[in-house]
A and B are shown apart, each in its own frame.
Chain A
Amino acid sequence: MKSEYRHLTLAVLSVILCLSNVSAEDLILVHEAWMLEAPTNARVIAGYMTIENKSSRSRRLIGVSGQDFERIEIHQTEMQGDIMRMVPMEELEIPAGSAVSLEPGSYHLMLISPRSVPKEGEAVNLELQFDSGYTMHIKLIVRAVHRGKTMKHFH
């Protein structure tokens, strides 16, 4: 029985590892990495994703970079009453065996000064740096604003 499970686990893992947004070293998965199609003159764009830590050790996202942007910061939108505050963060902890969502109104990446603003369907490459020294390459898909439809998928 045990070895069967082991085989199954290995099979599942190998399938998972074949996907692009997976780090073999850290067992970190990134799902649903996207950004909103921004106005062509936008100077900042938010990036969203879910980072899952499948390992038994806590991981910290300590930096993000991308050739299409001048700089990238990790931010949190904090609500105080009806006031929205943007709080820059040095790092984002992904506890062992759990997932952290970067989503509208919460954690997000602030992509500063895009070289050119990408359009719907395009993708941008980013590198996520973790405290373990691992750098993970991911793609952010650009989604458009559709009247009356867009938000439903993300709530």
Chain B
Amino acid sequence: MKTVRYVFPVLALLILGIWIGTSLKNNDIPAPIDEYPSATVLNVPVPLPSFSLTDHNGIEFTQWGLSRKWTFMFFGYTFCPDVCPMALVDLNYIYGNLIEKGDLVEEKFGVGTQVVFISVDPGRDTVNNLKEYIAHFNENFIAATGKPDVIDSLTRPIGVAYRLVPGKDPENNYYIDHSASFLLIDPLGRLRAYFSPPHKPAQIAEDFRKLRNKYTEECCRTSIRFNYIKLGDDEEEEEKNNEK
């Protein structure tokens, strides 16, 4: 019994000690705060290569379709029962969440938000299939696909992987293993962040809002600032010329 009586005070002291120890340690080296719990943000954004796909309306979809918009990009295929429909439900949640909060469009810079689903299965996903499929989840979403080599030229530089795997079904005899991350493309067409599975849509919406608020100004002023710097240099040169 005596030992039992001492267990709690000793435990309490131990826990207190550990707590003091860790808080002292934390004072020396501040623990990194996970600013975006659902996202991996790239220090240096990766520009997407130029590409030419066809969207669900049969219209060409290129890198210019990404400019002046934040884009959630997801790669999948419609013959995918579990991951892809659930991902589109999540994206629909995120999109709906942005609409509900009234900030789907950043008025200050005229920068919108869009969702693009790219099928890596052009063999089975025709334009008509994609149109009906994507509209089921959200009529504002864009679905696109293209020739395998065009898809590869887009996926490879941004680290999106997919692979055809033979299946049991004799008619549709393959599945596709594929990256299930949501890529976030900035308004300058650069990969800025990605959201890895398993997806927590509410957290993604929150993190996206933070990311957008932080980077939209930077993105959309880059060109202006660039012009300004050039202008500044020219003025300096002009001044030098005048001095001469």
A-B pairs with beta carbons under 8 A, tally? 104
Shortest beta-carbon distance from A82 to chain B in Å: 5
The stretch of B9-17, B89-97, B184-192 that contacts the partner chain: B89-97
Complex Cα distance, B96 from A44, in Å, reads: 26
Taking the closest CB of chain B, its distance from the CB of A114, in whole angstroms, is 11
How big is chain B's contact interface, by range? Answer: 35 or more
Does B100 have its Cβ within 8 Å of any Cβ on chain A? yes
Q: Taking the complex as formed, is B161 at the interface, i.e. its CB lies under 8 A from any CB of chain A?
A: yes
Stretch at the interface among B23-31, B102-110, B193-201: B193-201
User: Are the C-beta atoms of A71 and B169 separated by less than 8 Å?
Assistant: yes
A83 to B132 CA separation, bound complex (whole angstroms): 26
Chain B CB within 8 A of A39 CB: yes
Chain A residues within 8 Å of chain B by Cβ, number: 34
Tell me which of A38, A73, A85, A150 contacts B136 (CB under 8 A): A38
Tell me whether A104 and B82 are in contact in the complex, defined as CB-CB below 8 angstroms, given that A40-B136, A42-B133, A71-B169 are known contacts: yes
How near does chain A come to B160, taking the closest CB pair, in angstroms? Answer: 9
Give, as a whole number of angstroms, the nearest-CB distance from A46 to chain B. Answer: 4
Q: Is the CB of B177 within 8 A of A84?
A: yes
Q: A43-B172, A46-B82, A148-B93 are in contact. Are A84 and B132 (CB under 8 A)?
A: no
Chain A residues with CB under 8 Å of chain B are 36, 38-46, 71, 73, 75, 77, 79, 82-86, 88, 104-105, 108, 110-112, 145, 147-151, 155
